[in-house]
Chains A and B, each alone.
Chain A
Amino acid sequence: MKLMRSRFRLISLLLTCVFLLTAVICAVSALKQAGITLPAAQKLIPSSVSPSPEASPAEEKPSPAPTDSATGGILPEETDIPSDSEYNIYGL
């Protein structure tokens, strides 16, 4: 009975882990569908599930490059922060 109870505890732990993992995966899937992108959590979702293309604001039309109002020429980048979408946590 002692061994059985310790195995019951193991099964209980297994069930808890499976439930929590499922909850995290479902939450990430729902957030992805709603258009909120979390790069670290995206790895949990298989590639077969893709959000609707219109739902992600991060992939919307890029803003036009800044131009010089006097000459109309394109200004060079002034910041050191890369414009990689990896840093754009909330997709804004």
Chain B
Amino acid sequence: MSKKSSPRFRFVFAAALLVLLALLVPALREGDQRLYLLAAGVTGAMLLCMIIPARLFSLDRLILSIALYLGAVGIISLATTNPDAALMQLLRCSAGVVALIIGAMVIRIISPSMLTAGISSFLGLLLLAGSLLVQDLPFPFTEAALILMVISFSSLLSCYGGAAALLPGIIGTVLLLLQGMTVEASVLALTVLLLLWAADGKIGLVLAALAVFAAIFFGAAHFGYLPAFIPGEEHALSLSTLVSSGLFGSETVTDLQNSALPASSLVYLLSENYGLVFTGLTLFLYLPLMLRGTSVAGSARARFHAVLALGCVLIFSLRIPASLLSAFGVLPLPLNPLPLLTDSLPDLAAQMLTLGLLCGISSVNETNLAEDAHLAMLAK
């Protein structure tokens, strides 16, 4: 009987083929050696990652394949206009894959304890306070700080209950608001509130936490730390840039380097090169990623793993609607790059680390299920 390949492996194979075509066609047309190198490197790396690290570290295939595809889409969006930047993006994605593997390994080491909570909250708050004190930091560490805050919250919630877990979340929200990062502060506050409601369940505590966060945001608005939500020139420019190449893209690509759009966001280049249809289909891949993440959280046996997995999903997912609505000019929020479609190395590494934590929890779930099956077989 012939062994059929799994649907997830078929997805990666199809995605790798698509990426190969997207890089090979301009390489043949322009005869650029760098594009040939990219075509071989990106496709080979995607297939290699699905075969070796996925089996070696028991990574979740669906999460890994979507993360690899979104990383590859970031590379192909840069390839036609700037092959050197695309090569750099390939290196960044490789570092991101290393971060993903580290995340999957870390989850087997850490356990809910005061030590875990103390270290993660100290590092998270240090990163947030550091970026508040040093204004001209070359790298943004907000994403990494948010993940550390979620680890701290999960650990404290599992050991000491909801009231103790609230404190780092509140301090983190205040530090983010002091830096003017409204979207990130809202994402952290919403994540803490939803996790508190789902895992702790005490409605009085949830209402108290809601009142505290509302007071913090009201205070920030009163003292002028919240930006004015007025549609600016950059929102109109963002929408017109996304739509400018029509449904299927255009040959001529405008230079976005000097525009008011965020330089680290790759969604504009993707839309200009490949059109709205391809961009929309790519962005729809966030949905299975989110659903797989919540499924991993729901099947976790330990409370710590369940809360941490859902926290990772919420931190990753809640920024997607905010980024999309601001990019399409619907809400006058600050323009932020979408997860995994960014050329900022710290952000990409932190997002891959988040997905790595999810892969690690999925691997722990599978180990637990295999042990259960083994015990059931022995009991018969």
Pair B294/A18 contact, Cβ less than 8 Å: no
Distance in angstroms between the alpha carbons of A7 and B242 in the assembled complex: 37
Distance in angstroms between the alpha carbons of A45 and B313 in the assembled complex: 27
Contact with A along B355-371 (1 / 0, CB 8 A): 00000000000000000
Pair A16/B298 contact, Cβ less than 8 Å: no
Q: How large is the interface on A (under 10, 10 to 19, 20 to 34, 35 or more residues)?
A: 20 to 34
Distance in angstroms between the alpha carbons of A5 and B294 in the assembled complex: 10
Pair A19/B310 contact, Cβ less than 8 Å: no
Distance in angstroms between the alpha carbons of A24 and B166 in the assembled complex: 35
Contact with A along B240-271 (1 / 0, CB 8 A): 10110011000000000000000000000000
* A20 partner residues in chain B, CB cutoff 8 A: 287
Distance in angstroms between the alpha carbons of A12 and B194 in the assembled complex: 11
* A25 partner residues in chain B, CB cutoff 8 A: 325, 328, 330
Interface SS of chain B: helix
* A11-B310 contact in complex given A19-B321, A27-B280, A33-B239, C-beta closer than 8 Å: yes
User: Which of B107-115, B144-152, B197-205 has 4 or more CB atoms under 8 Å from chain A?
Assistant: B197-205
Pair B291/A30 contact, Cβ less than 8 Å: no
* A11 partner residues in chain B, CB cutoff 8 A: 194, 198, 294, 310, 314
Within 8 A of B (CB), among A24-45: 25-27, 29-30, 33-34, 45
Among B246, B294, B313, the one with the most A-chain Cβ atoms within 10 Å of its Cβ is B294
Distance in angstroms between the alpha carbons of A33 and B32 in the assembled complex: 36
Distance in angstroms between the alpha carbons of A10 and B327 in the assembled complex: 28
B118 CB to closest chain A CB (Å) equals: 25
Q: Is A8 part of the contact surface with B, judged by Cβ < 8 Å?
A: yes
* B303 partner residues in chain A, CB cutoff 8 A: 1, 4
Q: How large is the interface on B (under 10, 10 to 19, 20 to 34, 35 or more residues)?
A: 35 or more
Partner of A4, one of B198, B242, B247, B329: B198
Partner of A16, one of B276, B290, B324: B290
Distance in angstroms between the alpha carbons of A27 and B243 in the assembled complex: 10
Pair A16/B240 contact, Cβ less than 8 Å: no
Pair B198/A45 contact, Cβ less than 8 Å: no
Pair A34/B246 contact, Cβ less than 8 Å: yes
* A27 partner residues in chain B, CB cutoff 8 A: 280
Pair A16/B291 contact, Cβ less than 8 Å: yes
Pair B317/A7 contact, Cβ less than 8 Å: no
Q: Which residue of A lies closest to B327 (CB)?
A: A26
Partner of B240, one of A18, A19, A26, A33: A33
List 6 other contacts, CB 8 Å, given A18-B321, A26-B330. A12-B294, A19-B286, A19-B317, A22-B324, A30-B328, A34-B243
25 residue pairs bridging A and B, Cβ less than 8 Å apart? A4-B303, A7-B201, A8-B298, A11-B294, A12-B298, A15-B290, A15-B294, A16-B290, A19-B287, A19-B290, A19-B320, A20-B287, A22-B325, A23-B283, A26-B324, A26-B327, A26-B328, A29-B239, A30-B328, A33-B239, A33-B240, A34-B247, A46-B330, A48-B231, A49-B231
